[in-house]
């Protein structure tokens, strides 16, 4: 496996390799990331393609009060994990490589998808995500890219961007990896204490309860969502949202359509997100 730090060196390594599967990450990897690598490898296995993972902590998607400066950088460990998972190339640029000058050109996703849920509580987040992903797509030029369902809204935003920009990239969704107890794996789980990791299981339990009540026939969605928010508050959480939405566009839940329950809440100092399709 090669670890490459510059755009020119990456393009040289990829020359003559038409089939490329790509997994963009911010590093500090866990089993969820590695499952995406294995899925990417399977996606191009028949064509003898390469799997490329990027590791880059993207300043553009962090608000000034968020954890950009303290976000764990663990490149050596990450590279070992990626090699064991079957990755062929790790692209790990520094900030000057990816943003040699202030990034004046940015990708602005549509407000109806990007300014709700995560976008409401993290203004500009999806502009930063789309801008860096578009730039990485241009550098890597993959035929397939794999994104995890844990970041459900991000997956939808990227899919829509690829569709509207007519990019020749197939977007595959990777299932959310969870601990044996059911906690969605996240790089930020490392911020949790042992006690908080146990308390964090309440997030997925509350999502399951919300989905179960809807499936049982309860249709007062504002009341269902308010009950779920209060359950988290009563347990000491600071919830941003917990809601039931249509899967295909994150619009208001409609009976008979595939839905997804999504939540974001802070436990102590750590903000966690999760979702469950229903």
Catalytic residue among 33, 65, 108, 248: 33
Nearest Cα to Cα of residue 125 among 65, 52, 189, 71? 65
Active site residue 33: yes
Cα separation, 216 vs 212, whole angstroms? 6
Enter the DSSP assignment of 173.
Answer: E
- Helices 125-140, 7-14: axis angle to 10 degrees equals 50
Residues 127, 119 contacting (CB under 8 angstroms): no
Residues 122, 157 contacting (CB under 8 angstroms): no
State the chain's maximal CA–CA distance in angstroms. Answer: 58
Nearest Cα to Cα of residue 163 among 189, 122, 124, 130? 130
Cα separation, 263 vs 278, whole angstroms? 14
Catalytic residues: 33
């Amino acid at each position: 496996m090669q670890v490459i730090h510059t755009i020119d060196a990456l393009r040289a390594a990829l020359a003559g390799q038409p089939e490329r599967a790509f997994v963009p990450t911010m590093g500090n990897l866990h089993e969820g990331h590695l499952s995406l690598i294995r899925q990417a490898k399977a996606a191009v296995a028949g064509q003898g393609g390469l799997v490329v993972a990027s590791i880059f902590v993207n300043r553009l998607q962090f608000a000034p009060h968020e954890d950009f400066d303290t976000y764990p950088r663990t490149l050596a460990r990450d590279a070992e994990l990626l090699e064991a998972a079957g990755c062929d190339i790790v692209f790990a640029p520094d900030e000057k490589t990816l943003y040699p000058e202030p990034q004046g050109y940015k990708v602005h996703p549509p407000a109806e998808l990007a300014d709700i849920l995560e976008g409401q509580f993290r203004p500009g987040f999806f502009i930063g995500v789309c801008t860096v992903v578009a730039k990485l797509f241009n550098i890597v030029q993959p035929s397939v890219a794999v994104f995890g369902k844990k970041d459900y809204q991000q997956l939808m935003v990227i899919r829509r961007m690829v569709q509207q920009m007519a990019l020749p990239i197939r977007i595959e969704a990777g299932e959310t990896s969870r601990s044996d107890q059911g906690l969605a794996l996240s790089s930020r789980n490392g911020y949790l204490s042992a006690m908080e990791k146990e308390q964090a299981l309440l997030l997925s339990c509350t999502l399951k309860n919300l989905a179960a009540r809807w499936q049982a026939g309860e249709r007062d969605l504002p009341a269902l969502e308010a009950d779920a928010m209060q359950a988290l508050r009563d347990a000491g959480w600071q919830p941003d949202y917990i809601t039931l939405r249509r899967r295909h566009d994150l619009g208001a839940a409609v009976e008979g359509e595939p839905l997804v329950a999504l939540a974001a809440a802070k436990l102590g100092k750590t903000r966690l997100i999760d979702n469950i399709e229903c």
